[in-house]
Amino acid sequence: MPNQKDQTGGRATKSVNKPTETADGEPVHLSEADFDEFISNHKLCVIDFWAEWCAPCRFLEPIVEELAREYAGKAAFGKLNVDDNPRIAERYEIMSIPTLLVFKDGQPVHTIVGAMPKGALIEQLRPFLG
């Protein structure tokens, strides 16, 4: 699958054909068009709500990418740019970014707000990731 430039500061990411597929344990960049399908088609998923201009979001980005690889097969990871997809952010009352929402069976079950070191994030996710 070819790498494409996206809106994450010019970093190359893999695109996927369907939002239900993950690209080799990489977070899937979501939009309003595929968000609902993505959370419905994964028993457990973690969605990173972010924006390009957000420095704490850029801090968290490589951590989310690492977790997506480490927990591939246990949880699907997605990223949703709140500036490009405001209706989804509104639906889940995202007031600050970065915010990570954990979805189980299509329903939000846990919210994590703010950037934090990888160890602290794992502690927040451990009850869901096993």
> In angstroms, what CA-CA distances link 95 with 38, 85, 89, 128?
22, 14, 8, 23
Q: What is the pTM of this model?
A: 0.83
Round to whole Å and give the CA distance between 109 and 11: 30
Rounded percentage of the chain residues whose pLDDT exceeds 90: 79
Q: Which of 57, 60, 89, 115 is catalytic?
A: 57
Average pLDDT value for the chain: 87
- For residues 109 and 98, give the distance between their C-alpha atoms in angstroms, rounded to a whole number: 17
pLDDT for 120-130, tens place per residue?
999 999 999 87
Q: Are 56 and 114 in contact (CB under 8 A)?
A: yes
- Segment (H or E) for 79: strand 76-81
Q: Which fold has domain 20-129?
A: Glutaredoxin (3.40.30)
Work out the average pLDDT over 29-36. 97
pLDDT tens digit sequence for 55-72: 999 999 999 999 999 999
pLDDT at 129: 87
Q: What does the domain layout of the chain look like in residue ranges?
A: 20-129
Instruction: Judge whether 45 counts as a catalytic residue.
Output: no
Per the residue annotation, which of 54, 60, 97, 115 is the catalytic one?
54
